[in-house]
Amino acid sequence: MQELTEQEHNELMECEFVVKGICNEGPYITPGKLVEIEYDIGITIIDKEDHTNYLYCLLGPTVCKNDGINTPDGLYDTLFQGVIQDIKNGVIDLTSKESGNDSTAFTDFCAFNR
C-alpha cells in the first residue's frame, strides 16, 4: 500500500458520511468528520457536530511499531482500504461484523487527536 496522493487525501477530507454504531444509550447514526488520514499514522474520525466525540480510530503501522503493537501481515492494509471505501460510500457501519470496523475510539488512543 502506498500513501494517498494529495488529490485522494483532499477528496476524502471533503466527503460527507455518517457513522452507525451502538453505545450505552443504544444504536446511533451521526454525521462523521475525518480529522486526518495518513497511511503510516492512521485514521481518526470524530462526530461532525461534537468534535470531542471520537467515533473511530485506526492506528497506522508507524504508530503501532512505536507502541510495540504487532498486527498480522495485510490486516492494516485491508482495514485502511475498507475505511476509505466506507467513507466514499457515505457510511461507516461500526455495527457490522463483516466491516472489521470495530476500533473503539478514545482521545488518548487516536493517532490524530484534538
In a domain? residue 113:
no
**CB 34, CB 87: distance < 8 Å:** yes
- How many distinct structural domains can be found in the chain? 1
Q: Which carries the bigger pLDDT value, residue 45 or residue 74?
A: 45
In a domain? residue 104:
no
The pTM score is 0.82
In a domain? residue 108:
no
In a domain? residue 109:
no
Nearest one of 65, 87, 92 to 76, comparing CA atoms: 65
In a domain? residue 78:
yes
The residue range of the domain holding 28 is: 6-99
**CB 101, CB 93: distance < 8 Å:** yes
CB neighbour list of residue 106: distance below 8 Å, 6 or more residues apart: 54, 57
In a domain? residue 19:
yes
Tens digits of residue pLDDT in 60-106: 888 877 777 777 778 888 999 999 999 999 999 988 744 444 455 55
In a domain? residue 84:
yes
In a domain? residue 114:
no
Tens digits of residue pLDDT in 10-42: 999 999 999 998 888 889 999 999 999 999 989
